[in-house]
């Protein structure tokens, strides 16, 4: 951006955490002049011996691949790593190669690296002022993408958000976060909310949650009055029944229609049942009367519901209530009959999702066997694998790949159950709050994942590609066919708080390894790639400000979502993944027959 005229404020951050500066420099300042400024401000007492040992990719502290990054420089929120000439001793110590004590003395003792390329001394800051990432001293990793065939397909609207029923009185651990954020009290005139949903163009929103099995729908003569939820120690989850009025349903649908929302609605599955004398099991047939009235009114008003879900967390032992799986399967058949009747004159019939609860293998199998073919379209299950929001270890759990991988068995088991007992349906994660009881303070409400979700929605297409790498488990790698354009998009998540990764990406064109020789092609031979690097402000994952390519993602003055522009890099340049960062990387020239557009 050679046209930049404003002075650039630069701060140097050294490896020990201390800062030099800030100081302002003109855009015409050369790289050599900037280096001279660094040298002039170098602390006199900075040790000349610096070192660090990193865990090698096999998990042992060894001589393999120790890395070190020396100084970090910030230009208006953008990070420029600086390297000095280093060497490794047998004791794994890194020493400055200036030949003098107390740091670099000439401009040739320092390297400035912009997006993986060493900046020449005669370049100016204006020439170099672009998203900055990279010092190529991270763990070297090769990501391999099997590009001949896809291994799975996702829905076009894969990203989903849930709006719950909780009233403002819902509190956990001394926190009451639900004021003006639920189905019954959400401010539908909030510009920020409107713009956030609208930005997705087709965000899937599920209306449901813990209290949905205590909701009555005021669309007919009953109930006589429409009461709000109230605290009730004898009620499920400590609340009384609540009511959804016709007026509120109209308001909600007007809002969702304007924002282009794809809507899932969770029905009350406990209507007509009674609690068993022992335990939390509820017995008896589901009474479809109120649900039928509500669905009929919805169709009469031409409100678009993409899918209906029956009940919330009633599977297995349940949370606050449960239903026998065979009884529940019969209730699903009843729901199917209701929908087929009401939508008989419609061009499409909404999907049925079930059970919207925690996975129990036998319960899910009995449900699918009882309901039979063609009833359940999506087998929905909930994931709260991080435990309670009050857990003091929560911040560590979310960074631990070994802990996070424990949930893999659940996904595998669900897939097996569906293949064996319901191959006509698909597995859906209906709710994944991470930590239950409203999340964890200063964890769940930080490093906002809404921007990650938006980038996924825009970049990751439905075609899923098998992806592996030869590096640390702290690097997570995923690949999909790009959305609405050629090529492949990678999602790379670095869970480590200290290790960076230098990533090479290859396309595995071998259909049947290892029976025949591997056919690998680098995707870094030609063209360009688009990079979206998401990092927390100040490197603190508990920050509430997220940076995109070094720039804060702040709402505009009018409450709009900011533009999210990629950094364009040469395909041959090193791909640097910083600690505690999330990167979406799109390769338009990726050799991927599986993603060929017809």
Question: Across all residues in the chain, what is the average pLDDT?
Answer: 82
Higher pLDDT, 134 or 372: 372
159 and 52 housed in the same domain: no
Give how many domains the chain has, as a whole number: 3
Q: pLDDT band for position 202 (50/70/90)?
A: very high
Measured torsion, CA atoms of residues 359, 361, 362, 368, in degrees rounded to the nearest 10: 80
Omega within 30 of 0 (cis) for the link into 22: yes
Domain boundary among 444, 461, 495: 444
pLDDT computed for residue 8 by the predictor = 65
85 and 188 housed in the same domain: no
* Position 3 in a domain: no
* Lowest mean pLDDT segment, chosen from 54-58, 71-75, 106-110: 54-58
Q: Which two tokens stand for residue 11?
A: 């701060």
Q: Which two tokens stand for residue 479?
A: 């690949």
DSSP assignment of 36-82, as one string?
HHHHHT--TT--SEE------TTSS-SSS------EEEEETTEEEEE
CB atoms within 10 A of CB 8: 20
237 and 107 housed in the same domain: no
* Position 485 in a domain: yes
Closest CA to 462 of 242, 209, 238, 151: 151
Secondary structure class of 251 (helix, strand, coil): helix
Question: How far is 507 from 304, CA to CA, in rounded Å?
Answer: 41
Q: Which two tokens stand for residue 245?
A: 């009025």
189 and 282 housed in the same domain: no
Question: How far is 66 from 94, CA to CA, in rounded Å?
Answer: 10
Closest CA to 324 of 352, 288, 355: 355
Share of the chain above pLDDT 70, in %: 78
Domain boundary among 387, 414, 444: 444
Domain boundary among 137, 156, 172: 137
- The DSSP 8-state label assigned to residue 399 in this structure reads T
196 and 309 housed in the same domain: no
Q: What is the chain's alpha carbon radius of gyration, rounded to the nearest angstrom? A: 28
pLDDT computed for residue 153 by the predictor = 93
pLDDT tens readout for residues 63-103 = 222 222 223 333 333 333 343 333 333 222 223 333 334 45
Is 309 among the residues known to form the active site?
no
Question: Where in the sequence is the domain holding 583, given as residue range(s)?
Answer: 138-207+446-598
Mean predicted confidence (pLDDT) in 299-311: 98
Higher pLDDT, 52 or 48: 48
* Position 98 in a domain: yes
369 and 402 housed in the same domain: yes
Is 431 among the residues known to form the active site?
yes
286 and 229 housed in the same domain: yes
Is the CB of residue 577 less than 8 Å from the CB of residue 534? no
* Position 473 in a domain: yes
Is 90 exceeded by the pLDDT of residue 478? yes
Is 50 exceeded by the pLDDT of residue 424? yes
Pairing of strands 204-207, 262-267: parallel
Q: Which two tokens stand for residue 171?
A: 């509190």
CATH no. for residue 421? Answer: 3.20.20.80
Please pick, among 241, 431, 530, 531, the residue that the annotation labels catalytic. Answer: 431
Please pick, among 78, 241, 313, 531, the residue that the annotation labels catalytic. Answer: 313
pLDDT tens readout for residues 494-520 = 999 888 899 999 998 887 655 444 555
pLDDT computed for residue 111 by the predictor = 60
370 and 486 housed in the same domain: no
Burial of 248 (0-12, 13-18, 19+ CB in 10 A): middle
CB atoms within 10 A of CB 48: 11
* Position 107 in a domain: yes
pLDDT tens readout for residues 559-598 = 999 999 999 888 878 798 999 999 999 999 888 999 986 4
Three-state SS sequence of 519-570 = CEEECCCCCEEEEEEEEEHHHCCCCCCEEECCEECCCCCCCCCCCCCCEEEE
Is 70 exceeded by the pLDDT of residue 479? yes
Altogether, the residues listed in the chain come to a count of 598
Mean predicted confidence (pLDDT) in 303-323: 97
395 and 440 housed in the same domain: yes
Q: Give the highest mean pLDDT range of 2-16, 64-78, 312-326, 438-452.
A: 312-326
* Position 365 in a domain: yes
pLDDT computed for residue 83 by the predictor = 39
* Position 500 in a domain: yes
CA distances to 16, 451, 519 from 487, rounded to whole Å, are 42, 22, 18
* Lowest mean pLDDT segment, chosen from 36-40, 373-377, 511-515, 560-564: 511-515
CATH no. for residue 546? Answer: 2.60.40.1180
325 and 355 housed in the same domain: yes
465 and 565 housed in the same domain: yes
422 and 389 housed in the same domain: yes
CATH no. for residue 64? Answer: 3.10.20.90
Q: What angle do CA 394, 397, 399 make, to 5 degrees?
A: 120
pLDDT tens readout for residues 220-276 = 877 778 999 999 998 999 999 999 999 999 999 999 999 999 999 999 999 999 999
Question: How far is 432 from 359, CA to CA, in rounded Å?
Answer: 13
* Position 150 in a domain: yes
pLDDT tens readout for residues 127-149 = 654 433 333 456 889 999 999 99
Q: pLDDT band for position 339 (50/70/90)?
A: very high
pLDDT tens readout for residues 432-448 = 988 888 887 878 878 77
pLDDT computed for residue 42 by the predictor = 66
């Amino acid at each position: 951006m050679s046209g930049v005229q404003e002075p650039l404020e630069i701060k140097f951050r050294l490896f020990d955490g201390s800062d030099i500066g800030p100081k302002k420099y003109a855009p015409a300042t050369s790289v050599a002049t900037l280096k001279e400024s660094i040298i002039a401000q170098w602390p006199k007492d900075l040790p000349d011996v610096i070192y660090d040992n990193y865990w090698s990719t096999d998990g042992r502290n060894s001589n393999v691949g120790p890395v070190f990054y020396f100084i970090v420089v910030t230009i208006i929120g953008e990070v420029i790593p600086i390297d000095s000439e280093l060497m490794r001793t047998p004791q794994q110590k890194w020493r400055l190669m200036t030949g003098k004590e107390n740091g670099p003395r000439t401009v040739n003792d320092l390297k400035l690296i912009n997006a993986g390329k060493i900046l020449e001394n005669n370049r100016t800051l204006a020439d170099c002022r672009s998203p900055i990432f990279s010092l190529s001293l991270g763990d070297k990793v090769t990501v391999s993408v099997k590009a001949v065939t896809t291994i799975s397909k996702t829905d076009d609207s894969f990203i989903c958000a849930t709006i719950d029923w909780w009233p403002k009185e819902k509190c956990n651990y001394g926190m009451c976060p639900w004021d003006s954020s639920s189905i019954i009290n959400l401010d539908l005139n909030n510009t920020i909310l409107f713009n956030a949903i609208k930005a997705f163009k087709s965000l899937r929103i599920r209306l449901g949650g813990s209290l949905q099995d205590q909701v009555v729908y005021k669309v007919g003569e009953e109930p006589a009055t429409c009461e709000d939820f109230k605290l009730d120690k004898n009620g499920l989850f400590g609340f009384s029944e609540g009511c959804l009025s016709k007026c509120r349903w109209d308001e909600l649908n007007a809002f969702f229609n304007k924002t282009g929302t794809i809507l899932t609605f969770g029905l009350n599955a406990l209507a007509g049942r009674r609690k068993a004398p022992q335990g939390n099991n509820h017995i008896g047939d589901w009474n479809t009367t109120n649900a039928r009235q509500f669905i009929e009114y919805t169709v009469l008003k031409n409100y678009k519901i993409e899918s209906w879900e029956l009940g919330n967390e009633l599977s297995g032992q349940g949370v606050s209530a449960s239903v026998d799986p065979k009884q529940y399967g019969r209730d699903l058949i009843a729901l199917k009959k209701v929908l087929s009747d009401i939508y008989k004159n419609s061009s499409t019939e909404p999907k049925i999702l079930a059970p919207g609860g925690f996975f129990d293998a036998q319960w899910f199998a009995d449900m699918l066997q009882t309901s039979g073919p063609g009833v359940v379209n999506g087998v929905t299950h909930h994931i709260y694998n991080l435990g309670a929001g009050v857990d003091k270890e929560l911040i560590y759990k979310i960074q631990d790949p070994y802990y996070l991988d424990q949930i893999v068995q659940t996904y595998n088991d669900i897939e097996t159950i569906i293949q064996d007992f319901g191959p006509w349906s698909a597995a859906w994660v209906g709710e994944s709050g991470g930590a239950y009881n409203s999340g964890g303070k200063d964890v769940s409400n930080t490093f906002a994942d809404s921007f990650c979700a938006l980038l996924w929605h825009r970049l990751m297409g439905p075609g899923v590609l098998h992806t592996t790498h030869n590096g640390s488990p702290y690097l997570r790698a995923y690949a999909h066919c790009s959305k609405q354009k050629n090529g492949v998009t990678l999602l790379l998540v670095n869970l480590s708080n200290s290790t960076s990764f230098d990533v090479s990406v290859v396309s595995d064109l071998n259909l049947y390894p290892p029976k025949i020789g591997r056919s690998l092609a680098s995707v870094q031979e030609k063209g360009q790639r688009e990079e979206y690097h998401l990092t927390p402000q100040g490197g603190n994952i508990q920050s509430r400000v997220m940076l995109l390519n070094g720039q804060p993602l702040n709402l505009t003055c009018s409450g709009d979502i900011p533009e999210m522009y990629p950094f364009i890099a040469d395909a041959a340049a090193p791909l640097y993944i910083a600690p505690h960062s999330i990167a979406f990387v799109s390769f338009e020239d990726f050799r991927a027959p599986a993603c060929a557009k017809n």
